[in-house]
Amino acid sequence: MKVTINGTMKELTNSSCLSDIVSQFCKQPKNIITEVNGHIITSNDWNHTSIKEGDQIELVAFVGGG
Amino acid sequence: MDSSLMIAGKQFKSRFFLGTGKFKNKKDLKDSIEASGVEIVTVALRRIDLEHHEDNIVDYIPKNVTLLTNTSGARNAQEAVRIASLAKASGHGNWVKIEVINDSKYLLPDNAETIKATEILAAEGFVVLPYMYPDLYAAQALMKAGAATIMPLGSLIGSNRGLKTREFIKILIDEIDLPVVVDAGIGAPSQAAEAMESGADAVLANTAVATAGNPALLAKAFAWAVEAGHLAYLSQLSGQKNLATPSSPLTGFLYDIPAKN
């Protein structure tokens, strides 16, 4: 299944929910914020947010800034 | 004398805000926060690097420090609203520094888009601190839109050139009934003190501290300068004069002063 994560096309195997994607790509999931197709998904809903072909996923986190 | 700062009903002892960008390492950042006693720090939001995992900056910021997420990267109000909404979803509060910038050469804020974003986010219950060009009409519009403070720039972001906009910031201090936080371009504690002496309510610095040889030491110096400048403002400084006025009495000299012809 092909999805776009942070602007990059990724081929996923066995990933069916957002929670799997967060664990695969994020070292510390606790401060990650996610968006799927422009909708913010809070961590409570990661387990029951299914991911399908062509989804646009954003994984963002806090960084230093002024 | 009570010298605390109130923003959106929250009281702060420190009037120095620290930006967290450009630090060589996160230990320098943590040490700078601790040495200066800042209670508000700004952070940004970015896509994570899928290949290289980095430590999360939030882990280096003490829990009692208020996180103020900036909307850097936003080119219009809509993008700023999206970034603010993402930040809120993190569960780290709803304080947002609106930063809408279109121009990559001067990094000047777009006041019109900033006003739009402030209006939307304030209506949604965010505590909105907009970064702005020091323009009286824009400041009035931001106040009407529900801003919690205004954050006029002292000079260009990262320039360390100090309070180039001093006369226009002074107008905002005199006319706008919101805390005025001088942001951007403040490159030395003396410049921060100058802003505070003129009646600013707080000062934010980032580049100067983050790129100093000893960031924690400079952060502390900034905190002291901000405090000193504020105390000087409260003391009602007397104005400048063109000619000398003696500090010592002009009577009772031990020798005779020849009379003027």
Instruction: Please write the tens of the pLDDT for every residue from B100-114.
Output: 999 989 999 999 999
DSSP B58: G
Q: What does the pLDDT read at residue A15?
A: 67
A44 touches chain B (CB under 8 A): no
Q: Nearest CA of chain B to the CA of A12: how many Å?
A: 14
Residues in A closer than 8 angstroms to B43, CB to CB, are 62-65
| Regions of chain B where pLDDT drops below 70 | 1-2, 259-261
What three-state secondary structure class fits A7? coil
What three-state secondary structure class fits B86? helix
Q: Nearest CA of chain B to the CA of A66: how many Å?
A: 4
Residue pair B110/B116 in contact by the 8 Å Cβ criterion: no
What share of residues in chain A are helix, strand, coil (percent, to 5)? Answer: 20, 40, 40
DSSP B94: S
H/E stretch holding B119: helix B111-123
Residues in A closer than 8 angstroms to B21, CB to CB, are 63-66
| Neighbour count for residue A52 (Cβ, 10 Å) | 10
Task: Count Cβ–Cβ pairs < 8 Å, chain A vs chain B.
Answer: 97
Q: What does the pLDDT read at residue B238?
A: 85
Q: Nearest CA of chain B to the CA of A59: how many Å?
A: 6
Instruction: Scan for tokens 């901000």, then name that residue.
Output: B226
Quickly state the pLDDT bin for A20 (edges 50, 70, 90): confident
Determine the Cα–Cα distance for residues B192 and B204; give it in Å rounded to an integer. 8
Instruction: Scan for tokens 């040889």, then name that residue.
Output: B213
Of the candidates B70, B144, B145, B146, the residue with the CA atom closest to the CA atom of residue B109:
B70
Domain range list for chain A:
2-60
What three-state secondary structure class fits A20? helix
What is the pLDDT averaged over residues A5-13? Answer: 90
Whether B89 and A42 lie within 8 Å, measured CB to CB: yes
| Neighbour count for residue B237 (Cβ, 10 Å) | 10
Pick the CATH number of B9-234 from 3.50.50.60, 1.20.1060.10, 3.20.20.140, 3.20.20.70: 3.20.20.70
Angle at A4 between CA B94 and CA B104, to 5 degrees: 60
Question: Interhelix angle for B215-234 vs B189-197, to 10°?
Answer: 20
Q: What is the CATH number of domain A2-60?
A: 3.10.20.30
Q: What does the pLDDT read at residue B2?
A: 57
A35 touches chain B (CB under 8 A): yes
Q: What does the pLDDT read at residue B240?
A: 83
Distance from CA of residue B24 to its chain's centroid?
21
Quickly state the pLDDT bin for A26 (edges 50, 70, 90): confident
pLDDT tens track for B99-153 = 999 998 999 999 999 999 999 999 999 999 999 999 999 999 999 999 999 999 9
For residue B48, the chain A residue with the least C-alpha distance is: A60
Q: What does the pLDDT read at residue B219?
A: 98
Query: Which of A30, A35, A64 minimises the CB distance to B23?
Result: A64
B208 touches chain A (CB under 8 A): no
Q: Is B164 tagged catalytic?
A: no
Q: What does the pLDDT read at residue A36?
A: 95
